[in-house]
Structure 1
Amino acid sequence: MTDPQPSVLLNNDIQMPLLGLGTFRLQGQEDTYSAVDAALKAGYRAFDTAAVYRNEAHLGHALRCLLPKHGLSREDVFITSKLGPKDQGSKARNGCQKSLEQLGLGYIDLYLIHWPGTQGLPVGDKRNPENRAQSWRVLEEFYSEGKFRAIGVSNYTVEHMQELLKSCKVPPAVLQVEFHPKLLQNDLRGLCKIRGVCFQAYSSLGTGLLLSNPVVLEIAKECGRTPAQVLLRWAVQQSIAVLPKSSQPERVKENGRLFDFEISEEDMERLSALDCGEKFCWDPTQVS
């Protein structure tokens, strides 16, 4: 796999790029094609989708068309997808197989359980732990068959992670959660470090609300960079993988320019000092 940008080594010796294109809310074949084209041109080699995004087929189509255009092969890109909450438990096998079929790329580099709960069940339902355990066993089977090169989870809390780590045969390679200066997730990061799980961020811009934060704006002005670049660089400078998303080619290119500047140690600390535990996305802490 060619590696034009920095990557992280997962616990099963697979390299995962630090920068990937997030595709949440990226809809339609035309917009997906345009965003993927811009991303490949800008040096992105990782793409993150999910069953619930309903764009796996569009992403797969775009990559099959565009990889030859950019002189790349399937092995040059890292594709992540996720099992939807509606397929948690007894439907996990069908959900995994459908993701493979929708993407049409032969295999998936990283497949995650998207959410610790099950669609249609109350968050406190005691069937949730049973269902995610069943889902993990299915992911382990797909992993052992080479259909998934790595497996992991998303939106898991410390408690969910501890439960999984006690019972799994294959340890999770990645935990993908909301992470930005207002949500440092120190307990989760500490657990991941001890257990060799790669900690990956989504919503690095705080759903866009952090772009107008005075501290972020001040540091961006000092660096001569955009607020988005500052927030993303703050994460990758800590070796945390990021997944900025945009359907605008210029923004995709801009967000990818993270590896040609550094934030000073003082400014890194100023950004981290914004931590207040604020979540801008969904909260999994109530899921049993």
Structure 2
Amino acid sequence: MLKNLQSTTTLYNGVEMPWIGLGVFKVQDGEEVVSSVKAALEVGYRSIDTAAIYGNEDGVGRAIAESNVPREELFITTKVWNAHHGFDSTLAAFDESMEKLGLDYLDLYLIHWPLPSKGQYVETWKALEKLYKDGRVRAIGVSNFKIHHLESIMANCEIKPMVNQVEYHPRFNQKELHDFCRKNEIQLEAWSPLMQGGLLNESALVEIANKYNKSTAQIIIRWDLQTGVVTIPKSTKPHRIAENVDIFDFELSQEDMDKINALNQDKRMFADPDEFNKI
């Protein structure tokens, strides 16, 4: 399952999704994102995760176009932003993202947040269903959705999400949500797996890292994969981009997995999806 950087998990619709991708949140459009994506592709990454609100889809598209990697080997994700919830506006937002990315089809399209104040995520999801049925995207999913948001989609729509991308790290392992997603064949994906660097000096993780002669970042990313969670660590530094995925030559023991699990505090570092209403 976890042999190398090209190892994949199979979504319930049969699409293969890489276990590791490069996240480009807060990576500046232009040379910074272009060089970051190119560095990742050269190392062997095949999954790139962006979003309309990141403002760097143009740069991601340029890096893809300038790389020598065949399109069919890539797995590209982007997301519809809160301002574009609703059926027609979601379809228009998708077209705009595709133009910026310069792609004929997308691998994964996500609703970025449920945006409860607007109450349109079910309608937005139906737009994603249309894009999926029309063959414009290979898989559809959500981001930052809690169990009750997922249940609402499953009760009112034809297709259930294939992926749920959420805040997930050793301090916030979302066990109940993870169990729900596993039971319903929804692949959980971690954003901010390193808690924006906030866990890199955690003593328990440093101790485990020393044991395996790895960095704490590598330990956390390996923990993600061994818990069955897709992960998209972000970096703009080529040596870090490479280091983050040098994790296929060891396996964490159950004892060490338990120690990492024990770090959970059920505390979000970022916004609660029930309260986040930024447009």
Give the TM-score range, shorter chain: over 0.9
Shift of 1:4: 5.3
Alignment of 1:247-286 (within 5 A): 247-286=236-275
Partner of 1:83: 80
Partner of 1:105: 103
AA in 2 matched with 1:102: K
Contact 2:5–2:20 at 8 Å: present in 1 too?
Answer: no
Aligned residues: 273
CA–CA separation in structure 2 for the residues paired with 1:218 and 1:5: 29
CA–CA separation in structure 1 for the residues paired with 2:103 and 2:13: 21
Shift of 1:283: 1.3
1:223-255 superposed Cα distances (whole Å, 9 cap, x missing partner): 111110011110111221100101111110001
- The ranges of structure 1 where at least 4 consecutive aligned residues each deviate by more than 6 angstroms after the TM superposition are none
RMSD: 1.4
Partner of 1:19: 20
Contact 1:45–1:78 at 8 Å: present in 2 too?
Answer: yes
Contact 1:183–1:277 at 8 Å: present in 2 too?
Answer: yes
Partner of 2:219: 230
Contact 1:217–1:227 at 8 Å: present in 2 too?
Answer: yes
Partner of 1:143: 132
Partner of 1:160: 149
Per the normalisation by structure 1, the TM-score is 0.92
CA–CA separation in structure 2 for the residues paired with 1:204 and 1:246: 12
Shift of 1:5: 2.2
Contact 2:29–2:58 at 8 Å: present in 1 too?
Answer: no
Percent identity over the alignment? 39
Q: Tell me which moved more, 28-37 or 170-179.
A: 28-37
- Structure 1, gaps ≥5 residues long: 118-122
Q: Tell me which moved more, 202-211 or 108-117.
A: 202-211
- Structure 2, gaps ≥5 residues long: none
1:119-146 superposed Cα distances (whole Å, 9 cap, x missing partner): xxxx5x3xx33x1111111111111111
Alignment of 1:120-269 (within 5 A): 125=117, 128-129=118-119, 131-269=120-258
The secondary structure found in structure 1 opposite 2:64 is helix
1:132-163 superposed Cα distances (whole Å, 9 cap, x missing partner): 11111111111111111100000001110111
Per the normalisation by structure 2, the TM-score is 0.94
1:250-272 superposed Cα distances (whole Å, 9 cap, x missing partner): 11000111222111110110000
